[in-house]
Structures are given as structure tokens and as C-alpha cells.
Amino acid sequence: MIPVNGFEGQEIAILGLGRSGLSAARALRAGGAEPVCWDDNPAARSIAEAEGFVCRDLGHVDGFRGISRLIVSPGIPHLYPVPNPVVAAAWDAGVPVDNDIGLFFRSLAVEDWDDHGATPRVIAVTGSNGKSTTSALIHHVLRHAGRDVQLAGNIGRGVLDIDPPGDGGIVVLELSSYQTELARALTPDVAVFTNLSPDHLDRHGGLGGYFAAKRRLFAEGGPERAVIGVDEAEGRFLANQLSEAAVDARVIRVSSGQKLTGPGWHVFARKEFLAEWRKGRQIASIDLRGVQGLPGAHNHQNACAAYAVVRTFGIAPRVIEAAFHAFEGLPHRSQTVAEAGGVRYVNDSKATNVDSAAKALAAFGKVRWICGGLQKEGGLEALAAASGSVVKAYVIGREAAAFAMQLGGMETEVCGDMATAVARASADAEDGDVVLLAPAAASFDQYDNFEQRGEDFAAQVHRVLEQAGGT
């Protein structure tokens, strides 16, 4: 645990008692603060009270009397689409609002760092798609290279639950826009922007607000190094803002699909080869074709970003290449769950928006596509460019028929539920086909989260194969 410093003897309010909220309460108590907790869910309050925390309805009149700061869990909106009433009450009371990420950065450095031979460093990764895989891949390569490294944030452990990093220790954080938009302290040593596509627009008041939340990681923190995906205009804009000159090596531009030119530091993937260029010369390359844990152009972009980050730590290209081959990928992200009869079954339940689903589709040849769920804003038009790989779509979700109607001239079958979709896709599949779950939608109409949806897909695949005598 990382104790939160600077609030000794003060009452600090915690709104939301999920993983991050409880973690923040524990870390504040360890640092000498007095947490005052609240969650609308009585079960969550009971858990906190069982740990000895005081729970008080912060929405009541004078709820913020004596409170020095409010810590808000990431799932609670503080501005759009409407401010949470407790957050609004904190504004009216003049109480500063923060989150656990802000607490982490203000409390990470401790006095014994002065005795370290190498100061601990923090890598923070944000973006619309690929940030989990990129974060996990950075962590994996650094561990493969023998570094002392921890993975936390939106993946792995809560940021305040990790051990204080030791001499030369490294912390890799995956940060969502919900986390970066509110944190009062954002000071990573290396910051990564993977890409941007429309998502969470209601939470951020539109695409501009969404990008602004991501941009705070760079504008507020002033990282020593910035690794920026430049395949969208927002990334090129951000890289330009952070650079003082074309040769500024503090900014590393990465891309999947285009060759990057110029005198700066570039890492890009084309035709399934990763290349590193500096000052107009190629420094190294890696053949990505045999890296099974990173299939498709979208994962090649993740590989480029991870490669760029670990190169700033002095890791040799040959060590990175070996680590890439040992990377198995993450659950629910282009995860192969079975192969039988020449058919590959791939779980990409994390593809919850149109852009990520399109990238998943583009990674494979003949696809029997399981899609559908709680549709997000923006429609499905962006999937048209990737639909050429789709042999047939099998649509699930409560509004499956309406979802299927938006898939244009594609052959579709309305299945409704996962069991039916997997059974029908498996029955239709031929040698060389990929049965791919890439929903292009949220899971909440039928599942608690995308993990549960992916687990159901895997379970249904194994059930169908067992019934067919497969393995």
C-alpha cells in the first residue's frame, strides 16, 4: 500500500466504495487522515463499515462540514451529463475534488528515495483503444528484461494498493479518461497516447471533451518522454504541441500502417514489420508475423508504443523481440480460446466500440462475426471499411434485430443470445474461418461487464466443441 500523505488529522470524504474507493480510504487512513465514506449502495457501505470506516450521507445539509477534500471514484460523473449531487455539494462548500490517481501522484515519492541509486519512475498509458494491451506489454517486456516493475490503475491492482517502488522500480499505469479528467496531480515520467476514437461522449460532453481529458496527462504532467500515436489528427496535434523542434527526441511518434519520416524519433509498423528510426536512419526492426499474442494492425500499434517506451529505458531491440514472442496477450482482447477443425475461436469482448471492433475484424481473413449489445452513440458506419472480411454476422443483444439492420448488405442472422450465436457460427464455420466475438457495443443489456460476456463466449465455445467431439 502507498499511504496518502499531507492529510494527517483531516476528514477526507470518499464517494463510491468500489475497488478504487475502498483502496483510497485505506491509504488515507494509513497516512493519518480520517476517511468519511459514502455509497448509495447499502451493501458497499456495509463492507466499508466492517473495516471500521465511518459512513455518512454526504448529500445531506452540512454533509461537508469539516471535510477537507472529496475523493470521487471514476465511475461517478462529476460534470457531464449532469454533475453528481454530492460533487455539486462539494463545489458549493468550496471543498476540492480529486480522485485516487491524484492521491497516488502526490504521495508516491517518499523520503527514502534520497537513498536510492536510481529514482523510481512511472509510465502512464491512455487512449481509446489498446491501452490495456500496451500497458501489459510494457510490463511484460520490462519484467522479461529483469526490471522491478508493477502494473496498476485501470488494469491489475489499484494504484494505491501497490507496494512503494524500490530502488530503480517502475510503475506502469493504465489510465482511462475517467481517471485523467479529475486527477489534481498527473506527473508521469513517460506518458503514452495510443489513439483516439469516439467513446464515452456523454460523460465528456462530446469528442472535444473526451480528448481534453486524455490530453491532461501530457499538459498537466509535463512528462520527460511522450510516446504519441499519430494515426489520428488528435495524436498529430498533441505530438506537435509537445515538440519544440523536428529533432526533439522527447516525443516519440508511433504508427501502424504508415512510414514515419523526418529527423525525429519514430517507431512504426508496416507490412507486419516494426521499425525504429532516429535522425532519418533505421536503428532496428522486428518481424511481427510470428508474434501470436499480438495479431493485427491494432496490436502492431500497441507493439510500437510498448517498444518505444521500453527503448527509453535502454532495453535492447533483441530483448524486446524475445519478450514479444513470449507475450500471450490479455483475456478478452484478441484472445484465442480454442481451435478445432481448422476453425479458430477468438474472444475480443473488450471491443466495446465501433473502432475497436473494426480493428479486430481487420486482423483476420474469413470472419464469422458475433456482434451486438448495448449500442453506443455514432452508429455503425465506421465498420463498413472492415466488413470485407466478414462472411456472416451473428447478432446478439436485446436489440439484435435493430443492430442487424444497420450492417448494410452483410449477411446477418439475429441470434439474440450468446449460446445461439456460437452454436450457429460454429455450425456454419469452414476450414480457415475465424469465429470472432467483437461486439462493437457495451455489454450491459445482457451482462454485468465485458469480462462476463467474454467468459460466456468461451464457455459456449467449449460446450459446442465438446458436443461435437472437438478439443
Is 11-98 a CATH 3.40.50.720 domain? yes
Determine the pLDDT at residue 353.
Answer: 87
292 pLDDT more than 70: yes
Mean pLDDT of 149-163: 92
130 is annotated as contributing to ligand binding: yes
Determine the pLDDT at residue 109.
Answer: 79
Mean pLDDT of 373-400: 86
133 is annotated as contributing to ligand binding: yes
Mean pLDDT of 139-148: 97
> In this structure, are residues 100 and 159 in contact, taking their beta carbons and an 8 Å threshold?
yes
Mean pLDDT of 415-424: 97
- 371 has which bridge partners? 395
131 is annotated as contributing to ligand binding: yes
Q: Which of 338, 309, 348, 266 is nearest to 140 (CA)?
A: 309
Determine the pLDDT at residue 471.
Answer: 47
Determine the pLDDT at residue 155.
Answer: 85
Average pLDDT across the chain, whole number: 93
214 is annotated as contributing to ligand binding: no
**Strands across the sheet with 11-15, in order?**
54-55, 34-38, 11-15, 67-72, 97-98
**Fold of the domain built from segment(s) 108-325:** UDP-N-acetylmuramoyl-L-alanine:D-glutamate ligase (3.40.1190)
Residue 40, classed as helix, strand or coil, is coil
Determine the pLDDT at residue 348.
Answer: 93
Mean pLDDT of 296-304: 92
Mean pLDDT of 206-233: 94
Beta-carbon contacts of residue 16 (< 8 Å; ≥ 6 apart) = 39, 72, 73, 75, 76
Lowest mean pLDDT among 30-39, 83-92, 118-127, 330-339: 330-339
365 is annotated as contributing to ligand binding: no
**Residue bearing cell 523542434:** 245
Q: Which grid coordinates are listed for 336?
A: 484465442
Is 335-466 a CATH 2.60.40.10 domain? no
Per domain, the residue ranges of the chain are 11-98, 108-325, 335-466
CA distance between the termini of the chain: 43
Determine the pLDDT at residue 92.
Answer: 94
pTM across the whole model = 0.84
C-alpha 373/C-alpha 52 separation (Å) is 40
- 15 has which bridge partners? 38, 72
Determine the pLDDT at residue 404.
Answer: 93
Determine the pLDDT at residue 111.
Answer: 67
Q: CA triplet 349, 352, 357: central angle to 5 degrees? A: 80
221 pLDDT more than 80: no
Instruction: Count CB-CB contacts under 10 A for residue 443.
Output: 22
Mean pLDDT of 180-185: 94
C-alpha 169/C-alpha 126 separation (Å) is 21
Q: Using one digit for the tens of pLDDT, what is the confidence trace for 21-64? A: 999 999 999 999 999 999 999 999 999 999 999 999 998 888 89
C-alpha 128/C-alpha 235 separation (Å) is 12
342 is annotated as contributing to ligand binding: no
Q: 384 falls in which pLDDT band (50, 70, 90)?
A: confident
Q: Using one digit for the tens of pLDDT, what is the confidence trace for 226-256? A: 999 999 999 999 999 999 998 999 999 999 9
